[in-house]
Amino acid sequence: MPRLAGRIGLVKPSATIAVKQEADRLRALGVDVIDFGPGEPDFPAPANVKRAAHRAIDEDLSHYLPTQGLPALRRAVAAHYASTYGTDYDASEVIVSCGGKNALFEAALALVEPGDEVIIPSPYWVSFPEQVLLAGGVPVILPASESDGFIPRASQAARLAGPDTKAIILCSPSNPTGAVIPAEEIEAFADLVMEKDLYLVFDECYEKFLYDGRRHASPARHAGRLRDRLILVSTLSKSYAMTGYRIGYAVSCRPIVAALAAVQGHDCTHPTAIAQAAAVEALEGPQDDLRRMIEEYRLRRDLMVEGLRSIPGVTCATPPGSFYAFPGVTGLCQRLGSPDSASLAGRLLAGARIATVPGEAFGAPGFLRFSYALSQERIREGIERLRSCAAGR
């Protein structure tokens, strides 16, 4: 056995990536898997974005950029925050990263010291606790309740905040539940951060994915008083269906952005220049594809939720945001004799050829995450396979 560093023993491989790899493996063997697993839009990147990538190649954008990212992209991100949330962040307060995940990891490395506690509401995105652990910190899990729509509450976080608490990580709209934290709760978290001298890392990768007239409440609106305490993280991966381009970013005060850049400068340096040029076009070009995709996601969500609710033993609230449904499956586990949702997910993949991510990966056993970022036809087919499986066929 290789003598690996102790920190490797602290973390599990990413469950979302693992499910994707297993589904890909089965597909390569010719198995027709319906992949509700990863949060991966099935749309191609918009045509104008692809053209911008081609242009960048032709114009020889093939050398190093500033570590913080292409200046035009940083300006586009700052302009997005100014026009959407009324902030006055400058391009120097933006860092471009390899997806939102990279910026979140840099934030953990920049903020967390050994023994620092970080409050993370569950169900959480799989990488939050692992990144805190890799940074030497202690994830303190705050369970959000299903009956409260999985909305994390600042009053409950306040009870967990002690002398060692350094930060809170929030995600809204939520991966994996689709919950949207309301504006007044965001304000309460901002109050808590100020009162207890904490940092707020806010993952808003699904900021464009809200339905039924809901509006995204970003703590960016409190950037005035939270300036030195707030790290906003987002991505173009989901909104513009460009996951493989690996473009995300963080927005914060200059000293924090400088800290993230110091980490990034010793890691990936910066994401691919060609992808950064394409990202400028995504943010500044026409937004018609984005609007079309969001409308299609709403139809898919309704189809997904209605289908899941029609399965005996499955309960499912209508998620107001992101592109995940997070149904309760304890009844289905009982019907099928599966001891837990992890084994149910394994059984669904092996028996019904449906890939899902078990709630255990998000700190929420008894649930499965279904991404509905796949066509209505595939969603219908997946629901029928689930129905047959639930009926023991």
Interacting residues with ligand GLU (CB under 6 A): 14, 16-17, 38-39, 101, 126, 175
Q: C-beta of 120: minimal distance to ligand GLU in Å?
A: 15
Nearer to ligand GLU by Cβ, of 69 and 100: the residue is 100
How far is the C-alpha of 162 from the C-alpha of 151, rounded, in Å?
22
Q: Given the complex with ligand GLU, which of 102 and 338 has the nearer CB atom?
A: 102
Query: Measured from the CB of residue 369, what is the shortest distance to ligand GLU in angstroms?
Result: 8
Which of 39, 285 has the CB closer to ligand GLU? Answer: 39
> CB-wise, 16 or 68, nearer to ligand GLU?
16
In sequence order, the 6+-apart residues with CB closer than 8 A to the CB of 224 are none
Pairing mode, if any, of strands 248-251 and 94-97? antiparallel
Report in angstroms how near the CB of residue 102 gets to ligand GLU at its nearest: 10
Of 199 and 326, CB closest to ligand GLU: 326
Return all residues near 70 (Cβ < 8 A) that are at least 6 apart: 96, 273, 276, 277, 280
Q: Which is nearer to ligand GLU, 87 or 235 (CB)?
A: 235
Cβ–Cβ < 8 Å for 111, 85: no
| In the complex, least distance from residue 38 CB atom to ligand GLU, rounded to whole angstroms | 4
Q: Long-range contacts made by residues 252-258, C-beta under 8 angstroms, separation at least 24?
A: 252/93, 253/93, 253/227, 253/228, 254/92, 254/93, 255/228, 256/107, 256/110, 256/228, 256/231, 257/68, 257/92, 257/93, 257/94, 257/95
- 313 or 346, CB closer to ligand GLU? 346
State which residue, 39 or 137, has the beta carbon closest to ligand GLU: 39
Please measure the distance between the N-terminal and C-terminal CA atoms of the chain and give it in whole angstroms: 44
Sign of the CA dihedral with 292 first, then 239, 319, and 211 last: negative
* Bridge partners for 248 per DSSP: 97, 235
User: Considering Cα of 48, then 218, then 93, then 166, what sign does the dihedral take?
Assistant: negative
> Taking CB positions, which residue lies at the least distance from ligand GLU?
39
Give yes or no for a contact between 348 and 333, defined as CB atoms under 8 angstroms apart. Answer: no
